[in-house]
């Protein structure tokens, strides 16, 4: 049985100009990173663009990657920074245009059969996605890093340059805000 090369080995090869090694890294991680970026950004099309920007930035920065360190946290930092950049650009656009975030016109929203078995769950998930997107980055980032990317509090703290206790506190407050936003449970717990 053939063992596939590690991310670090592939990144090292890619840094030496082997494009196919980087393509393997992209295929290996694009699903998990898309899930993270999609929930951070909120819009599927924008998330695709941000993810593409993140992988392009990683490709262009490979000469600065230290192969003695794990590749995935390095790549995750780039993706997180691209999400933050996107958020800042969106705020500037809204200020310049004096317009609120685009919302679909009521007639353009597809009708939903509330008698369908999954309709209530679909609405709940839609509200949860919107509530996550609306969270300030201070709370959204640790939530997505732990819940979507599966990082431990310690790993998320290292990426966010804070302490595991601070991550725990931000997660608690993020969950409180989400519960309040979607009108479920005790917003204090």
- Of 36, 66, 99, the one marking the end of a domain is 99
| Domain match, 79 and 128 both | no
At 76 the pLDDT is 94
Does one domain contain both 3 and 70? yes
Same domain, 129 and 94: no
Query: What pLDDT, on the 0 to 100 scale, is given for residue 149?
Result: 83
Residue 143 in any domain: the answer is: yes
Total domains present in the chain: 2
Q: Do 89 and 119 belong together in one domain?
A: no
Do 91 and 119 lie in one domain? The reply is: no
Other CB atoms within a 10 A radius of the CB of residue 138 amount to 12
Q: What is the pTM of this model?
A: 0.66
Domain that holds residue 79: 1-99
d(CA 157, CA 161): 6
pLDDT of residue 98: 47
Its sign, for the CA torsion 132, 137, 143, 147, is positive
pLDDT (tens place) for every residue of the chain, 189 residues total? 678 999 999 999 999 999 999 999 999 999 999 999 999 998 889 999 999 999 999 999 999 999 889 999 999 999 999 999 998 887 766 655 543 444 455 555 455 455 555 666 667 777 888 888 888 989 999 998 998 888 899 999 999 999 999 999 999 999 999 888 887 654 444
Residue 71: what pLDDT? 95
* pLDDT the model gives residue 188: 44
Closest CA to 135 of 71, 81, 184, 180: 180
Residue 152 lies in a domain: yes
How far is the C-alpha of 174 from the C-alpha of 176, rounded, in Å? 5
């Amino acid at each position: 049985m053939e063992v596939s090369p590690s991310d670090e080995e592939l990144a090292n090869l890619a840094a030496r100009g082997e494009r196919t090694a980087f393509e393997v890294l992209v295929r290996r991680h694009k699903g998990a990173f898309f899930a993270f970026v999609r929930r951070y950004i909120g819009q599927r099309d924008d998330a695709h663009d941000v993810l593409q920007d993140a992988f392009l930035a990683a490709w262009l920065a490979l000469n600065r990657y230290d192969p003695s360190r794990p590749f995935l946290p390095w790549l995750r930092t780039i993706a997180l920074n691209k999400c933050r950049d996107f958020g800042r650009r969106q705020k500037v656009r809204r200020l310049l245009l004096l317009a609120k975030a685009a919302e679909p016109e009521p007639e353009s929203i597809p009708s939903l059969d509330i008698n369908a078995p999954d309709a209530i769950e679909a609405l709940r998930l839609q509200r949860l996605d919107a509530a996550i997107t609306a969270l300030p980055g201070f709370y959204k980032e640790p939530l997505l890093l732990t819940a979507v990317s599966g990082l431990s509090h310690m790993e998320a703290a290292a990426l966010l340059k804070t302490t595991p206790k601070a991550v725990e506190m931000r997660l608690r407050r993020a969950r409180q805000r989400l519960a309040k936003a979607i009108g479920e449970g005790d917003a204090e717990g």
